Chains A and B, each alone.
Chain A
């Protein structure tokens, strides 16, 4: 028998355990555990899940120290400012004005406080009671009338009359006993007092006007001169810390289509500090620093936009840093890394190509287009011309079909009208139908016309970033083509062309296809043999370097990277081709952005001769014959074509037979919010998870750095299954790496920022930026500016420095044949919208020479004929010209639609003589051309020609220009020959005789100068009116005057 089976008889236990066994201890312990867990839950709720409490405690301590330091610094600054004479003067003026106004203000205040307000107070209750009673009776009266209860109505009328007759007790201030006032009396007195109160208040404001003005001036001056907050203000911040509320700091934004809750300030307590705080002042605690970009914050007030729309993260969360920063696993919008912060701008500014304060993102967007990413990857809003062109082509076809259908319908109706058997009604109906159809036809034709016009525009707008390969065989040297395809960066480290992972055989196949598929294009080489020296001079001075880089005799690789570097051009192509290309780039490549520089045949030859002479002596090529043998190998044609198709060469180049290739890459418009599961990390998932780069940022960075990275360890049965994205940045050890390694990280960051920002918007639409009018014009304008590199030559925004301006030849004291130093730079376009007539600008953009094609004048500059650098003729579409015009107008806060050229009063007789004299006296023709000159003197006459002044310039601008040129264009060579004078009708400008040269005085003559001095009108106005009626005759007149 087993031991554990108790026998009934055995004495196992005396006591019955079931009844007697106490479980007090287990219960007690369980109670302790339960209490402890309850306490723990409270601790967890109020402490563990609220880490911001610690931060806030720490903040108070750090901020006390930081603010104390700030206060002392501010006190010193304050003392410096208050000690200045100007401060004292202004303060005295303010006090004086205050004192002057004081007696009257005092009198008014006393009147208000002693006579008016107490009486209003005394009357307000009886008036309120009486009025409310009257209103109640009136309601009942109206109700009774409306329901036809005449008796009741009479009753209430009587009651109302009784109320009005009733006297109420009114205890006026100062009176010993209440007076009995009637209803009307009370109400009229009450109204009188109220209006009196208003009168006194406005009177006070009137009396104080001067004092208030003085105060505003004083405060304005003080604020402008104090760079820090006042010590008192900082002290107030410091004092505020004593009563700091330890709580969640929350911004709650409620809009129609959503809401935002942001509690970032709970930990980042100092982020909105009115006094800037830096980590170094806060004991190194970055969490408490104030927002580093104050200007951005001013544009995007957090109480309106919150924090997480820009920065990402989870605005609501406060329980841990990782939750708040959205770094937890399932949060879709983690906080952006500091190098990609600007990705947040894309939430709203997806369509802005260029933004102030967002240099990384701007660069990312620029690179995305410039490196040709958009050729393979569709991106909503970028490079849309190609798609628009296809749509427009389809629309034209449809419109034509519609027309044909309508024409047939008309013919059918007409047939009925001509049918003698038809009834009169049928003929009539057919006639009416035909009429309506003809009108339809008219509208359809109009539509078609518009579409055709759009097509023409689009045809000019579509660009490709690479050269046209349909003319490869007439352009390229065979041996060069092979070397180039093998490793483009070996030939030209700065090239946009990426490196493809192809072997020698594939290179030969591709080259052979390109060679054999191209069609010979006639070289329109005007003259090839030229002067290399002169060619070099032209390349440097004509403006080529605004886009291209080149190494000259004097300078190593100067110019811009916008287009291909021209050093070693001779290895690539022939002089004849270069000559033909620079003569007319669009002839060779209809998709090029390169404009015509309107060069003479001779200059084309000179430039070609020089460029063709640029060769590296280290380059090693196959012999031309061997190369040609490879390129003409017919057996390579098919393989080459497949490769070219597969690799997507047509994304950047025009290639025979591949004109309609679609984009081969993934669309990237919303790549940043693509679910992470859909980004193919290949076999590297685990590795990158361990590195913490298994996220969008990591994906983009890895991919850009080495596009084949996700092919690692993969087994491919076919070569084409590999990732085909080429390498845009050289890897260590590859050619070009040494030259470019400094830029790679920055470029990848910029592109990553752009891609990270390419997300579906996750903030309410009503908070997004939807620019209209001028803002939209600016937005659109930048696309054209950047597309054609306008800002390579021109300053578009104040403070910007175009690449061309940095050339050594434009230095202040530079001496270079034909370039007059600083003043020879392409003009600034800051304020262009306020300067030029919009209609003229559009015309000028179409034809910068302002002369008919084929004329000698066409080869010159239209406005600044004396300049060596010249505005080239871009092949801009009408649409693009309109966009540019609107852009400049908008930048100057002007609108194009309401511009009408002003028509000043014509000058006649004496006034005309005076205007001519003023012109001559100013010696304007010293720098400006007058028009019609046979030749120009390049050393001096770089200013605009007067030929175009009438149509070109907006008079308002001219007035500012002739009076204060230095404020319009700081540092301009334009002298200020007018001076300020008091006139009968206020301020006027007169010719400053002290500034007139002796020669000019002689040309004008003393008598005229005297008359001019006696003229009581505004001389600037006189000149303006003179310009407005400038003609060839005037040119001749002034030319004569000069010749005197």
Chain B
């Protein structure tokens, strides 16, 4: 265990926000689930007790008849906002006193930094570069992420869970989102920051970042495993594989939805359902590619003269 290396990584000024992220994300995940749990218990109670439904104010916070349903923003909200502003200001001042913003050598195009890293919030995408061609990792996936985020309100047709935390009423939506956010975004950022060292090689936390380290891993395109040769043969093989993969994953998902979440399927229009399925399949595809690379040394599923997938 190279504690010096660990300290160097963690104390690097620009890595401090990621340490912060590492603490804040689990905390707020926990907080959300705590609130969801309270609501879920309330929901369960209400489902069991029809009488209670008529009298209960349906919020898991204390309430008594006679207490106002709404409160004045001035001062009840504003004083809290004021407090938050003071705390944030204090934190920022102290952070700025204690830690200096980094300034490295003057820009030198002839001296490549090793590792060359994008700003930390893009490191998830940079990590994806390991698994995908740049046009997918750098352009297509970010665009799809943005479009997918924008599509969420329009494909989430669940009328429940509007304006309150719940897990049991929105299991599928929350699980999918958290998987995307926590695993495919935050985790990849953390891997890109703390785990990827010189040459973008994998260094477990505590390994010394050795610039001379040499790794051996030969990755093969999928068609190599099956002995397919020839440009067009390879093209159609890849096309068939990717198409087949999507079809199978989509099909399984469809069966699952129909069997386990019939109501969701029923509420969705075909366009909504198709969009949802597409995004879902794509997410599974990204995960599948990562697993295929890490576990089975697969370089590309689909190789064409113009692009690789």
Contact = CB atoms under 8 A, between A and B. Distances in A.
Contacts of A686: 208, 210
A37 B94 contact: yes
A14 B114 CA distance: 64
A23 B56 contact: no
Nearest to B40: A2
A330 B76 contact: no
Nearest to B102: A330
Pick the most buried of A9, A30, A38: most chain B CB atoms within 10 A of its CB. A30
A23 B83 contact: yes
Contact of B62 (A12, A677, A682): A12
Contacts of A16: 64, 67-68
B86 A34 contact: yes
Contacts of B57: 8
Interface string B5-43: 000000000000000000000000000000000100110
Interface string A1-31: 1101111110111101111000100110011
B212 A682 contact: yes
A4 to B, nearest CB: 7
B229 interface: no
Contacts of A259: none
Contacts of A26: 83
A972 B192 CA distance: 80
Given A1-B45, A18-B71, A30-B83, A8 B103 contact: no
A23 B104 CA distance: 44
A760 B89 CA distance: 45
A33 interface: yes
B151 interface: no
Contact of A6 (B49, B62, B96): B62
B103 A12 contact: no
A6 B105 contact: no
Given A6-B62, A9-B55, A677-B211, A37 B67 contact: no
Nearest to A43: B97
A7 B38 CA distance: 13
B87 interface: yes
Pick the most buried of B65, B97, B104: most chain A CB atoms within 10 A of its CB. B97
A27 B86 contact: yes
Contacts of B211: 677, 685
A330 B62 contact: no
B93 interface: yes
B45 A18 contact: no
Contacts of B80: 23
A406 interface: no
B306 interface: no
Nearest to B111: A675
A27 B90 CA distance: 12
Contacts of A303: none
Given A30-B90, A330-B103, A683-B212, A19 B68 contact: yes
A19 B83 CA distance: 16
A110 interface: no
B61 interface: yes
A18 B63 CA distance: 10
A41 interface: yes
A5 B38 contact: yes
Contacts of A17: 62
B93 A5 contact: no
Given A34-B90, A330-B105, A27 B79 contact: yes
Contacts of B71: 18-19
A810 B212 CA distance: 60
B60 interface: yes
A685 B209 CA distance: 10
Nearest to A38: B93
B63 A27 contact: no
B86 A31 contact: yes
Interface string B89-124: 110011011000001111010010010000000000
Contacts of B67: 16, 18-19
A23 B75 CA distance: 11
B161 to A, nearest CB: 18
Interface residues of A, number: 37
B82 interface: yes
A332 interface: yes
Given A23-B83, A37-B90, A18 B103 contact: no
Given A27-B83, A686-B208, A13 B45 contact: no
A11 B64 CA distance: 8
A40 interface: yes
A723 to B, nearest CB: 14
Pick the most buried of A2, A9, A19: most chain B CB atoms within 10 A of its CB. A2
A19 B89 contact: no
B83 A8 contact: no
Contacts of A677: 111, 114, 211
Contact of B97 (A1, A8, A41): A41
Interface string A441-484: 00000000000000000000000000000000000000000000
A44 interface: yes
B97 A44 contact: yes
A1 B82 CA distance: 38
Contacts of A682: 212
B76 A19 contact: yes
Contacts of A33: 86-87, 90
B87 A30 contact: yes
Interface string A489-530: 000000000000000000000000000000000000000000
Contacts of B61: 6
A686 B52 CA distance: 69
Given A26-B83, A677-B211, A5 B42 contact: yes
A371 to B, nearest CB: 30
Contacts of B106: 332
Nearest to A332: B105
A6 B60 CA distance: 7
B89 A34 contact: yes
Nearest to A26: B83
Interface in B118-141: none
B45 A2 contact: yes
Interface in B69-88: 71, 76, 79-80, 82-83, 86-87
Contacts of B96: 41
A134 B64 CA distance: 97
Contact of A40 (B42, B64, B97, B208): B97
A41 B93 CA distance: 7
Contacts of B55: 8-9
B63 A6 contact: yes
B82 A27 contact: yes
A2 B83 contact: no
B111 A5 contact: no
B8 to A, nearest CB: 10
Contacts of B90: 30, 33-34, 37
B105 A4 contact: no
A332 B104 CA distance: 10
Contacts of A8: 55-57, 63-65
Contacts of B52: 7
A2 B41 CA distance: 7
A330 B104 contact: yes
B210 A685 contact: yes
Interface in A789-839: none
Nearest to A33: B90
Contacts of B114: 677
Contact of A4 (B60, B79, B82, B86): B60
Contacts of A31: 86
Nearest to B104: A330
The 10 A-B residue pairs with the shortest CB-CB distance, nearest first, are: A30-B86, A37-B93, A16-B67, A330-B104, A2-B41, A34-B90, A8-B55, A33-B90, A6-B62, A12-B62
Interface of A: 1-2, 4-9, 11-14, 16-19, 23, 26-27, 30-31, 33-34, 37-38, 40-41, 44, 330-332, 675, 677, 682-683, 685-686
7 contacts: A6-B60, A19-B68, A23-B79, A37-B90, A40-B94, A675-B108, A683-B212
